[in-house]
Amino acid sequence: MDDGVMQPRSAATTSLWQAQCKDCRAERLAGRARSKGKHEPGFEYSASWARRKLERGEGRSDRCERHRRAHARIIRALPTPYIDLRVIGEVSDPANPTGPLGGLGPLPVVHRERERTVDLAKHPFGMSDDDVLRILEGLATRQVAIVEAGTGTGKSTFMPFRLMKPPPGAAFRPTDFGPIIVTEPRRAAAKGLARYVGEELCHGCDSLKCTRHFGPGFPVGFQVSGEQYWDRACELIYVTDGTMINWIRDGRLARIGMVIIDEAHERSENIDIILAQLREAVRQFEHLRVVVTSATLDREFFEAYFGGEEHVFRSSIPPAKSFGYGVPLFPDATIDEATLREGLEIAPGLRFPGWAAEGPEEDGKREDLRESTRRLQALRCERPIPPDRWRLEMPDAVVRQVVNIARGTEWGDILAFLPTDKVIRDVVARIKDQVGPSFDVYPLLSKVRPDIAEKAIAARSRGERRKIVISSNLAETSLTVKGVRYVVDSGLICQAEWDPALASGSFPTKPHSQSGLRQRWG
């Protein structure tokens, strides 16, 4: 790889086979189709999966995913794995190949291969093919990579996709040794990321409208809790931390090519267990590669944990969504002209840079971000809340701040963070009463209805009705709420804790960490 030549995000091609399911076809001929006029016998599956099957001496599948599962259940129920039947003749009607036991079954249908090419440069990722090539080059000689990738770089989407489908000139292909597994702290993130990568990056479809190109038979799938939505065709699988722990316990690392620990900064109990097990596993499996990534992590700690520079490759990628970042509009912070230009040190070791002068170009114009910040100062809540009163007063303060921004600005969606389902739903109801029908107000929780979650994260054009999203820490990592211009942060989080003295767990509400707050602002 020539380090002097910058390789942007190039196009990626995904090959699919199109075929007809012989069992669906038989159902239709027999008049047993599940939905008249809607159920078509055609299906698609990954060409790379078909190639791997042929290399193992297996045949390409001629059943859709539904009938593959049904056929597998039937095969498992047989007392013997193979029955040798003597063919007694040929079918008289190839279009309807039926006959006595021992007669020829359905004839093979025509499989047609097609390709879909996606121009990755159209996606606003901060990471390039060049970054991925450097990561693969580092992993060619070392088993662990620490990737500190800022907000908007595509560390949860573009990077896993490009590791599955490496750019030209890559040092090696991780999926030659098994699938790539990406661990996510939350179920909604695992499902949403699999859908986005499978639909938009692999096939160029709108992930909000199409759900046909990920899961069994396709390159990307997921598993959360007991919901398995993948099979051997999947080369990239998003899973929850708990699922990853179970897979390691079951000995699956021998058949996995790479494990990506996403949002490693959270350092939950599950993540620490996975890291401890992977540290031992890389010594046992020479083929296994581990990538630890987050926008905010302690690189020195993770490097030392996995054996030092000799065994660990480090990569740092700056954030893509850096415009407009500056000193948060704390109630007691003095935001003057010097602060806008140079930034401000809130406390020893906690310094924020100044604001960028201009925003991105839109309709031939660039916004004066410093002037916008001056106007926003008049909208902020001026009364600081003592730390010992945060839990009690913060919901009221968030309502006031969100309503101030909604009434005092003309465009841009608002995202606010609060802990616990009850508090969030109560705040949503109060904000709806105050802003009226001019805004759509949504809760974003792990158990919210899928249609509500999709509306909450979907982008809206300027001129459309604005939205206000009140979220738990679900929107902090790996889940992007599109169109957000203003972030209101309570600074609180509801996070699992274990009390060794009482031998019990709890979910207390407490102040969030600095790294977690920076994740939210991004």
**pLDDT value at residue 254:** 94
**pLDDT value at residue 498:** 63
Q: Is residue 185 a contact partner of residue 263, using CB atoms and an 8 Å limit?
A: yes
Determine the average pLDDT of the residues in 51-65.
Answer: 80
**pLDDT value at residue 38:** 45
Q: Is the pLDDT of residue 463 over 70?
A: yes
Structure token pair of residue 126:
């901060």
Between residues 278 and 458, the one the model is more confident about = 278
**pLDDT value at residue 5:** 47
Neighbour tally for 232: CB within 10 Å: 12
Highest mean pLDDT among 178-187, 364-373, 442-451: 178-187
Determine the average pLDDT of the residues in 393-412.
Answer: 91
Query: Helices 241-249 and 269-284 sit at what angle, rounded to 10 degrees?
Result: 40
What domains are defined for the chain?
13-114 (no CATH), 118-317 (3.40.50.300), 322-378 (no CATH), 383-521 (3.40.50.300)
Q: Is the pLDDT of residue 402 over 90?
A: yes
Apex 453 CA angle, 64 and 413, nearest 5: 135
* pLDDT, tens only, 291-348: 999 877 888 899 999 999 899 999 998 877 655 667 788 877 788 888 888 888 877 7
**pLDDT value at residue 290:** 97
**pLDDT value at residue 219:** 95
Mean pLDDT of the chain: 82
Please list, in sequence order, all residues whose beta carbon lies within 8 angstroms of the beta carbon of residue 439, skipping any fewer than 6 positions away. 406, 431, 432, 465, 466, 467, 468
Q: Is the pLDDT of residue 485 over 80?
A: yes
Q: Is the pLDDT of residue 116 over 50?
A: yes
**pLDDT value at residue 23:** 84
**pLDDT value at residue 287:** 95
Nearest to 160 by CA among 234, 51, 244, 237: 237
The whole model's pTM is what?
0.76
Q: Is the pLDDT of residue 108 over 60?
A: no
**pLDDT value at residue 456:** 84
pLDDT bin (cut points 50, 70, 90) of residue 214 is very high
Q: Is the pLDDT of residue 100 over 60?
A: no
Phi, psi (rounded to 5 degrees) for 239: -135, 160
**288: Cα separation from own chain's centroid:** 22
Lowest mean pLDDT among 58-62, 163-167, 285-289, 409-413: 58-62
